[in-house]
Chains A and B, each alone.
Chain A
Amino acid sequence: EPEVTQTPSHQVTQMGQEVILRCVPISNHLYFYWYRQILGQKVEFLVSFYNNEISEKSEIFDDQFSVERPDGSNFTLKIRSTKLEDSAMYFCASSEGGGDTQYFGPGTRLTVL
């Protein structure tokens, strides 16, 4: 069964460093998303991406964040200068259409020291 994959599973970084989280969406899906979940809190939407453009972003997704689809299979989230409060689980999701079910990856646990 096709699934969304994410790497790495755990990333530890120093405050102020840049991190890139990687995702491989399900192959025939066209819409891609990033969400995050701070420990003990709700899953929060960050950004949606379609046709090589951001289609929607939340207030959390400020200038420190960027997304890219560098090739036909990967989808990345970059945080330019990490803060302590960026520590969270980051989930990638994909869907076939914009109105379809979103399937989530296993997540990357980001720890900022």
Chain B
Amino acid sequence: EDQVTQSPEALRLQEGESSSLNCSYTVSGLRGLFWYRQDPGKGPEFLFTLYSAGEEKEKERLKATLTKKESFLHITAPKPEDSATYLCAVRPDSWGKLQFGAGTQVVVTP
């Protein structure tokens, strides 16, 4: 059975304190791994797509990496506006459907 597990469930950071979020997955095939940011009561906001092991994508203070079994989202020198829930989703070996993890809730305090 396809599974997506994110850790930790919650993370509290001081402003400027870098950290990493983990997304481990077991799927029959992988046609993309996606990172989204979700603010309370809002829809997921797209951050990155990764397709193959070794791939890296970067945007401002965020960097996503992918291996054959997991992905990391690195947050460098976070600011309070980076506070959100970060969702990982995989597209298994079929077109379209995304399978989401439970998310990591990040709180960055000044």
Contacts and interface: CB of A to CB of B under 8 A. Distances in A.
A75 interface: no
Interface string A69-113: 000000000000000000001010001001101111111010000
A107 B42 contact: yes
Contacts of B99: 45
Nearest to B34: A101
Contact of A56 (B44, B96, B103): B96
Interface footprint category on B: 20 to 34
A103 B58 CA distance: 19
Interface of B: 31-32, 34, 36, 41-46, 49, 87, 89, 91, 94-103
12 contacts: A33-B98, A41-B102, A43-B89, A43-B98, A45-B98, A45-B99, A48-B95, A56-B97, A98-B95, A99-B31, A101-B32, A103-B46
Interface of A: 4, 6, 31, 33, 35, 41-45, 48, 50, 55-56, 58, 89, 91, 95, 98-99, 101-107, 109
